[in-house]
Amino acid sequence: MTAAPHKLAMATLEARLARRFDLLTETIPVGPLRVQFTRVADPQVVLDQICASIDLHERTTGERVKGDSLGLPYWAELWDSAIGIGTWMAKTNWLLPATLLPTAPTLSVLDLGCGMGLSGTIAAMLRADVLFADMEPDCLLFAKLNGLRYSTQVDAKKVNWQTDDLQRTFDRIIGSDVLYDRTQWPFLDTFFRKHLAPGGKILLGEPGRQSGDDFLIWIEGRGWTLTRQVQPVPTRTVPIRLFELSLSLRRLRRLEWLG
């Protein structure tokens, strides 16, 4: 994508979002970086609009909207875990390829459950090839806009990790606050195995819930190698917990043989 189409794509995305939301573009400090980031100006307004729409539907149809169909805009919040993952990537060599030769390929990154795309935008700033993935179409527009500010090598796709197969693998998978629902862990485990490239790594940000403690025990029992880190962020007094997952080729082949 050359400069003119790139700028046109950004302008089109921003205009599309501005028709539906009040936007706020600000500079967010993330470790050593300063990130220009566009987000929903007031997430509460978006929540109120969704609740009003649900209420109207239920009153006019008499049908109760089920919990999994509510479409609550969790994506409209800027999650602390995304800041934690972004800070960690910015201050470490987590996104460096295995070789530093000039011919080394760019790392591919999947930002799973991306929200408005802060973590993936940091990855784009650090020269990764980024795919933003989420279930909500609105947040994918924000994520792509934010990523395009720093790279042409970004894209966004609606993804359901319970059912979708992207027909490709990624060197890195990142996920901010995706572990709170225990019922999703088996789906995530399967999705990770299907989409993580050999020798790849996963980085999950978690704010300190009990479910995060339980996940550590659960995931280690499934053959993953787990490394734990903590990352302070300026938005909270308690650091974000970071769980890095990897699976050696030998271990992967043994699990496939046992399976």
Domains of the chain in start order, with CATH, are 79-258 (3.40.50.150)
Q: Is residue 45 over pLDDT 90?
A: no
Threshold 0.85, pTM exceeds: yes
Tens digits of per-residue pLDDT, 154-205?
Answer: 999 999 999 999 999 999 999 999 999 999 999 999 999 999 999 999 999 9
3-class SS string, 41-96: CCHHHHHHHHHHHHHHHHHHHCCCCCHHHCCCCHHHCCCHHHHHHHHHHHHCCCCC
What is the rounded CA–CA span in Å between residue 228 and residue 53?
41
Q: Give per-residue pLDDT as tens, 238-257.
A: 999 999 999 975 555 554 44
pLDDT for residue 61 is more than 60: no
Residue 113 has pLDDT above 60, yes or no: yes
Average pLDDT, the chain: 86
Which pLDDT belongs to residue 99? 55
**Which of the listed ranges 40-54, 96-110, 129-143 does the model predict with the highest average pLDDT?**
129-143
What's the average model confidence in pLDDT over 77-101?
87
Alpha carbon distance 176, 195 (integer Å): 17
Nearest partner of 30 among 78, 75, 62, judged by Cα: 78
Q: What is the pLDDT of residues 143-155, one digit of tens each?
A: 999 999 999 999 9
One-letter identity of residue 166: L
pLDDT at 257: 47
Signed CA dihedral, 156, 70, 164, 162: sign only: positive
Residues 6+ apart with CB under 8 A from 152: 1, 6
* DSSP bridge partners of 131: 110, 155
pLDDT at residue 62 tops 60: no
Give the pLDDT score at 215. Answer: 97
CA-closest candidate to residue 151, choices 186, 171, 122: 122
